[in-house]
Amino acid sequence: MKLWEKNIRVIEPYVPGEQPKVQDVIKLNTNENPYPPAPEVEEAKESFNTDMLRLYPDPDASVLTEELAKFYGLNKENFFVGVGSDDVISVAFQTFFNSDKPILFPNITYSFYCVWADMYRIKYECPKLDDNFKIKAEDYYKENGGVIFPNPNAPTGVLESLDFVEDILRHNQDVIVIVDEAYIDFGGKSAIELLDKYENLLVVQTFSKARSMAGMRIGYAIGNPVLINAMNSVKFSVNSYTMNQTSLFIGSKIISNKKYFEDTLAKIINTREITKEKLKAMGFEFPDSKSNFIFATHKKYAAKDIFEYLKTKKIYVRYFNTPGIDNYLRITIGTDEQMDKLFEALEQYMDK
Ligand X SMILES: *Cc1c(COP(=O)(O)O)cnc(C)c1O
Q: Give 250-316 as a 3 state SS string.
A: HHHHHCCCHHHHHHHHHHHHHHHHHHHHHHHHCCEECCCCCCCEEEEEECCCCHHHHHHHHHHCCEE
What is the C-alpha to C-alpha distance for residues 33 and 22, in angstroms, rounded to an integer?
Answer: 19
Alpha carbon 174 to chain centroid distance? 25
Which one among 208, 252, 289, 292 touches ligand X, defined by CB under 6 A?
Answer: 208
Contact status: 287 vs ligand X (CB under 6 A): no
Residue 206 contacts ligand X per CB under 6 A: yes
C-alpha distances in Å from residue 37, one per residue of 95, 142, 180, 266: 32, 42, 22, 15
Which C-beta is closer to ligand X: that of 108 or that of 303? Answer: 108
What mask, x for binding ligand X by CB under 6 A, covers residues 90 to 129? --------------------x-------------------
Among 106, 188, 219, 223, binds ligand X (CB under 6 A): 219
- State in angstroms the smallest separation of the CB of 264 from ligand X: 17
For ligand X, which is the closer residue by CB, 214 or 234?
Answer: 214
Count the residues of the shown chain that bind ligand X, applying the rule CB under 6 A: 13
Phi and psi torsions of 284, nearest 5°: -80, 150
Question: Residue type at 334?
Answer: G
Question: Could you give the 3-state DSSP secondary structure of residue 329?
Answer: strand
Selected range binding ligand X among 49-57, 79-87, 255-263, 338-346, rule: CB under 6 A: 79-87
Binding of ligand X at residue 150 (CB under 6 A)?
yes
Euclidean distance between CA atoms 14 and 148, whole angstroms: 17
Pattern 164-203, ligand X, x by CB under 6 A = ----------------x-x---------------------
Determine which residue in the list 154, 168, 195, 221 makes contact with ligand X, applying CB under 6 A.
154
- CA–CA dist 272, 41 (Å, integer): 26
Pairing of strands 177-180, 219-222: unpaired
Q: Which residues contact ligand X (rule: CB under 6 A)?
A: 31, 84-86, 110, 150, 154, 180, 182, 206, 208, 214, 219
